[in-house]
């Protein structure tokens, strides 16, 4: 049986131009799960991971706006809140999708996943991970001053809040996830990149105020489970060099060496494609067979080698 991690973005559930209400998110989840079930029907055991950038940003604002009524949750708890709610949404939707399938009979289970990070990670001093909705420069200026946000212009799409995003070191629930996968379950794990924790001297865990990039977390989990393939879904059909320029070139295949060279040349910005490429490189360098970066719409075609960009040894 082939095994794969499929990492879907938080924007798979909130499409561009939508306000992100829960009914829209469930509709988008049904579309996503309809594609995921086809991968299972192709003979794959899968782990579904997902981002939560839009959702956790909204959750934080919800808490902050209710500050005078209810004490707000810190960032780490807001991550866990969205991991639970999004896990429920994807789990139920995938269960319903399985029930309608003529070929698949599998249980679906969500694991609230903790991910160990280094408390000395430089991102705690230099926040870089965009979360939440996009704002105009004028609007975010007022909000950033009032809420003491760090903000950044994000890939020409508007301004967003940025928070610490330490690199993942270890997936705490790895053995449980592996056991469920071996039992034939469809597993939803590392939601939102996982809940960031540090390991104290006595071996116990403690939460920290950060978010983890879901692509790095997915790559780390795939490495620790020795899986065959890592599929990272995003908003574009293929990885490109000279993106958005007249000489843009879409790439069907990249070796690890070529991907690394393009990274060094600044082709893949840290706020967008950069983490996906680095996550794919790390996966391949640590024994992975194939990494694919493709759009959510073209998942099935990408798995069949007809779409997306493949990163290979």
In a domain, 136, yes or no: no
The helix or strand, by DSSP H or E, that contains position 301, with its residue range, turns out to be helix 299-303
Task: Give the range with max mean pLDDT: 66-80, 130-144, 191-205, 264-278.
Answer: 191-205
Q: What is the CATH number of the domain that holds 106?
A: 3.40.1160.10
Lowest mean pLDDT among 114-118, 132-136, 227-231: 132-136
Q: Whole-angstrom Cα distance, residue 284 to residue 256?
A: 7
Average pLDDT, the chain: 92
- What one-character-per-residue DSSP string does 13-44 give? TS-TT----HHHHHHHHHHHHHHHHHHHHTTE
Among residues 10, 194, 288, 308, the one annotated as catalytic is 10
Is 11 a residue of the active site? yes
Is 276 a residue of the active site? yes
Domain shared by 172 and 275, yes or no: no
Alpha-carbon Rg for the chain, nearest whole angstrom, is 19
Domain shared by 106 and 252, yes or no: no
* Alpha carbon separation from 118 to 15, 21, 112, 114, 199 (Å, rounded): 33, 35, 20, 13, 8
Q: Tokens 């295949």 label which residue?
A: 253
Is 9 a residue of the active site? no
Domain shared by 199 and 269, yes or no: no
Among residues 38, 106, 185, 276, the one annotated as catalytic is 276
Task: Quote the DSSP letter at residue 71.
Answer: P
Is 129 a residue of the active site? yes
Tell whether the model's pLDDT for residue 61 goes beyond 90: no
Number of structural domains in the chain: 2
Tell whether the model's pLDDT for residue 160 goes beyond 90: no
Domain boundary among 154, 188, 212: 212
CB 218 within 8 A of CB 276: no
Domain shared by 172 and 298, yes or no: no
Q: Tokens 């559930």 label which residue?
A: 13
Tell whether the model's pLDDT for residue 33 goes beyond 90: yes
Q: For residue 192, give its domain range.
A: 9-127+164-212
Domain shared by 45 and 188, yes or no: yes
Q: What is the pLDDT of residues 257-293, one digit of tens each?
A: 999 999 999 999 887 899 999 999 999 999 999 999 9
Is 15 a residue of the active site? no
Is residue 203 very low, low, confident or very high in pLDDT (cuts 50, 70, 90)?
A: very high
Q: Which of 151, 158, 153, 152 is nearest to 135 (CA)?
A: 158
In a domain, 146, yes or no: no
Task: Quote the DSSP letter at residue 184.
Answer: T
């Amino acid at each position: 049986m082939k095994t794969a991690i499929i990492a879907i973005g938080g924007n798979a559930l909130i499409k561009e131009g939508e306000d992100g209400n829960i009914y829209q998110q469930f509709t988008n989840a049904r579309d996503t799960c309809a594609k995921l079930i086809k991968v299972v029907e192709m003979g794959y055991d899968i782990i579904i991971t997902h981002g939560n950038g839009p959702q956790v940003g909204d959750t934080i604002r919800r808490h902050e706006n209710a500050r005078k009524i209810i004490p707000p949750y810190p960032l780490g708890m807001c991550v866990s809140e969205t991991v639970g709610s999004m896990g429920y949404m994807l789990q139920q939707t995938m269960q319903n999708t399985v029930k309608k399938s003529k070929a698949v009979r599998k249980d679906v289970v969500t694991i609230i996943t903790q991910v160990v990070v280094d408390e000395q990670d430089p991102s705690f001093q230099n926040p870089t991970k965009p979360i939440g909705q996009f704002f105009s420069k004028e609007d975010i200026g007022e909000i950033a001053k009032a809420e003491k946000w760090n903000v950044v212009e994000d890939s020409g799409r508007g301004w967003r809040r940025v928070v610490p995003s330490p690199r993942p070191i270890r997936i705490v629930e790895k053995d449980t996830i592996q056991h469920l996968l071996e039992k034939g379950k469809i597993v939803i794990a590392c939601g939102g990149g996982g809940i960031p924790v540090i390991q104290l001297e006595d071996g116990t865990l403690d939460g920290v105020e950060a978010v983890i990039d879901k692509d790095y977390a997915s790559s780390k989990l795939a490495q620790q489970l020795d899986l065959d393939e890592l599929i990272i879904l995003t908003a574009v059909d293929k990885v490109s060099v000279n993106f958005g320029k007249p000489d843009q070139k879409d790439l069907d295949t990249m070796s690890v060496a070529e991907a690394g060279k393009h990274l060094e040349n600044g082709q893949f910005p840290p706020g967008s494609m950069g983490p996906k490429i680095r996550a794919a490189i790390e996966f391949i360098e640590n024994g992975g067979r194939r990494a694919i970066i493709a759009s959510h719409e073209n998942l099935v075609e990408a798995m069949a080698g007809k779409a997306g960009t493949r990163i290979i040894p």
